Amino acid sequence: MAMAANHLRNSTRISVHRILHHRFQPLLNAARSFSEAASSIPQPQPNQQSSPLSSLKDYELAKFAAIADSWWDSEGPFKPLHLMNPTRLAFIRSALCRHFKKDPYSAKPLEGLKIVDVGCGGGILSEPLARLGATVTGVDAVEKNIKIAQLHAGLDPVTSTIEFCCTTAEKLVEEGRKFDAVMALEVIEHVANPAEFCKSLAALTVPDGATVISTINRSMRAYATAIVAAEYILRWLPRGTHQWSSFLTPEELVLILQRAGINVLVIAYFICCIARTGGGDGRICVQPGDRTVVFIRRYQRKFHRLRHQIKQHRIA
């Protein structure tokens, strides 16, 4: 009897081991390939920075130039940005309408505002801002990005008025340009000097204007989703697109902004939850969380809580 019980116990252990091995072996293989690939990625060298006063990194420019043709491919390398765009745009629309006392329900709620989209890429944010009535300037340091943005925007008479320039925020400051609102979404994690970059953004903003910055929080969740999952498992992005050490926590970014003369009023968080459908394709759903941090420049004493699906924390 005891021998039969031991035999049954051993058989059960073997079956459980086989089930666990079958279920988790793909994840272990992905983790192993991630570790091997990560060790083979060439790390950026200090002398690759263009100049101490520039926000540019040469290797960052090269990475985005290599995938510039895919900006408007919603299933390509920029798929996460396309999926996040409606949520980001809803927040920006509500925040700017509240700040500038605009009617958010009008056909063109941002009409009369001059907005610059710093690091505009292919124009996936610049175009909807223009459709909301804003006078938009899109700038990017990658010339190929600007050409793609100009070609795509030219297909629509409404967006064909967007001014796209291959330049940097620093150069716009030197030219004395000023804007009602300055956008820098998913950019600061790719610049060489975040503090100097934020000073340039502040200099581009008119008094009583608004500055909006979106970036990836330096958290383990972000490491798992933005790097391990997006770059190595689902392969939405080329490997090495993001460096976890370049991410900023909300506290770090608040300090940088305050030192740049930008008073932070609203911090909004959301995450991209990655799931798999029955067909095996990766899907993203945007939910409240800690994936992205958005900051609004404060000049008014009162700023009512915005009503949308993003979780917000007030700082004042």
Tens digits of residue pLDDT in 81-104: 898 899 889 989 999 999 999 999
Binding-site residues, in ranges, read 88, 119, 140, 185-186, 189-190
Decide: residue 295, CB within 10 A, 0-12 exposed, 13-18 middle, 19+ buried: buried
CA-to-CA distance for 100 and 209, rounded, in angstroms? 8
- The pLDDT score that the predictor gives to residue 274 is 46
Q: What percent of the chain clears pLDDT 70, i.e. is strictly above it?
A: 67
The answer to whether the pTM exceeds 0.95 is no
In this prediction, residues 217-235 reach a mean pLDDT of 82
Asked if residue 236 lies in contact with residue 80, where contact means CB atoms within 8 angstroms, the answer is yes
CA-to-CA distance for 156 and 41, rounded, in angstroms? 40
More confident residue, 141 or 50: 141
Which pLDDT band, with edges at 50, 70 and 90, does 71 fall under?
Answer: very high
CA dist 190 → 177, 200, 214, 227, 291 (Å): 23, 15, 12, 14, 16
Asked if residue 124 lies in contact with residue 190, where contact means CB atoms within 8 angstroms, the answer is no
Q: What is the bridge-based pairing of β-strands 205-216 and 179-185?
A: parallel
CA-to-CA distance for 194 and 48, rounded, in angstroms? 16
**Per-residue tokens: 9:** 């116990």
More confident residue, 299 or 17: 17
**52-215+240-269+292-314: which CATH topology?**
Rossmann fold (3.40.50)
Highest mean pLDDT among 49-53, 106-110, 220-224, 270-274: 106-110
How open is the CA angle 150-118-70, to the nearest 5 degrees?
A: 50
- State yes or no: pLDDT of 255 exceeds 50: yes
Binding-site residues for S-adenosyl-L-methionine, in ranges, read 88, 119, 140, 185
- Tell which residue, 231, 222, 187, 221, has the closest CA to residue 88: 187
- Tell which residue, 37, 4, 53, has the closest CA to residue 171: 53
CA-to-CA distance for 83 and 86, rounded, in angstroms? 7
- State yes or no: pLDDT of 115 exceeds 90: yes
Buried b (16+ CB within 10 A) or exposed e, 159-195: beebebbbbbbbebbeeebbbbbbbbbbbbbbbbbbe
CA-to-CA distance for 138 and 162, rounded, in angstroms? 7
- The pLDDT score that the predictor gives to residue 236 is 75
- The pLDDT score that the predictor gives to residue 9 is 54
- State yes or no: pLDDT of 168 exceeds 80: yes
CA-to-CA distance for 154 and 162, rounded, in angstroms? 9
- The pLDDT score that the predictor gives to residue 230 is 78
- Facing residues of 284 across strands? 274
Binding-site residues for Mg(2+), in ranges, read 186, 189-190
